Amino acid sequence: MKEALKKAKWLKFIQKFRGYDKEVTKAFARSFNGHTVEVGDLKFTITENTIATATSLPQVGDRWFKNRGLEDQGWKNMLKNPGMDTSIFTKGIPVHVIKEEWTALLLLVQKFITCEGRFGTMYMYHARIMMNFMEGHAINLPYFLLASLKKMSSTVQKNVGHIEPHLYHHGFIRILIEDQLKNNNDTWEKFLVRNHFQEVTEASASSSPRIPKRSRRRKRDVAAQDPPIVETQETTQEEEEERDKTKKQKKDKGKTIVQESYPSPEPTVEEYSQTLADRLSQLQAAALSKKKQKEKQSAQQKSTSAQVRRSSRLKERMSVTKEKQSHFIDLGEGTPEKAPTQLDLESTPPREESPFQTEPQTEFDFEHSPRRTP
């Protein structure tokens, strides 16, 4: 591709692109009237000749712009299938149907000449500019660039409140301004600072050589080759516990959990003086005494529960005997017999008294009178 650019005398123009300033482009688009422009304290005229001088482009070929149609069908030779029906592509020709040797050139045209940024599609004006590299299809590029600057400026001046989408040719505008500054022995950085487009520090930073950024893949390769040296430190058990707590708190989602920390009791002077074996034996004795106390408490609870169950059974039996008492009928013969309830009570063995309830003693009085016959 470099040989093709050199043959078309476009190589010097492409090599002059060295960044831009968007505020300078805005000032240019607002003031350019198609012939003269005023940016900051610099005022100059723009024609085909001045563009050709600043860009080192030849003024030969067809004076063509976007408002003209493209009748020559020689551009179809750029397609993988030159005989294909291109009318099916209503929104430009996709890149995947173009030959590989032309796709790189299309990208260069879109970046430096048309500057619209739609890199996946080829339009007719792209095809006409690329036909410059075919025999007998030269285009007057200074004329094309001048017409494009006029179109951009008129669009920006009509849409004063919303000019960002209509700005392009940033690098090309810098080339034109730098050519005028060179004639006045001035520089781009001084021009920016003098006209308050940039501060002094910003201008110096923009003029300094750009340090290329290291890719993520390169960082990973360097890290794999030279592993970092990790210093081993002895951490106490308390520090490890604190780390575990912080990790758990990070895992928890939702509301923050407030944890109270209680200070551990400090050992007494006697504990300091004791040996480890004495301390262990003392702890074992304390554990045994606590275990015995728990066993006594559980035995007491079992005995009380058994007594309660026994007294409850006695109460149930008393209620059943009261319900089964039969009525006594006195026939008046001989000495009165004892009531069955009284006999049952006397003949039954003595009951065990409940520790929780004492039963009242009942007395039975029966009056025996002889049965009167009529």
Evaluate whether 27 touches 43 at the Cβ level (below 8 Å): no
Q: CA-CA distance, 368 to 341, in Å (whole number)?
A: 16
Together in a domain, 98 and 53:
no
pLDDT at 366 over 70: no
Is 324 a member of any domain? Answer: no
Which of 191, 208, 225 is a domain's end point? Answer: 208
Is 24 a member of any domain? Answer: yes
Evaluate whether 130 touches 75 at the Cβ level (below 8 Å): yes
Per-residue tokens: 238 = 């308390």
Together in a domain, 24 and 83:
no
pLDDT in tens, 184-225: 899 999 999 999 998 665 555 555 545 455 555 555 654 555
- Residue 35: domain span: 17-59+151-208
Q: What are phi and psi of 326, to 5 degrees?
A: -95, 150
Q: CA-CA distance, 98 to 274, in Å (whole number)?
A: 91
Evaluate whether 31 touches 41 at the Cβ level (below 8 Å): no
Evaluate whether 167 touches 159 at the Cβ level (below 8 Å): no
Is 302 a member of any domain? Answer: no
pLDDT in tens, 134-180: 988 999 999 999 999 999 999 999 988 888 889 999 999 999 999 99
Q: How many domains, the chain?
A: 2
Together in a domain, 161 and 101:
no
pLDDT in tens, 245-294: 666 665 555 555 555 555 555 555 555 556 677 778 888 888 888 888 88
pTM of structure: 0.55
Is 196 a member of any domain? Answer: yes
Together in a domain, 46 and 95:
no
pLDDT at 24 over 80: yes
Together in a domain, 116 and 66:
yes
> Dihedral sign, CA of 100, 101, 106, 111?
positive
Q: CA-CA distance, 144 to 129, in Å (whole number)?
A: 9
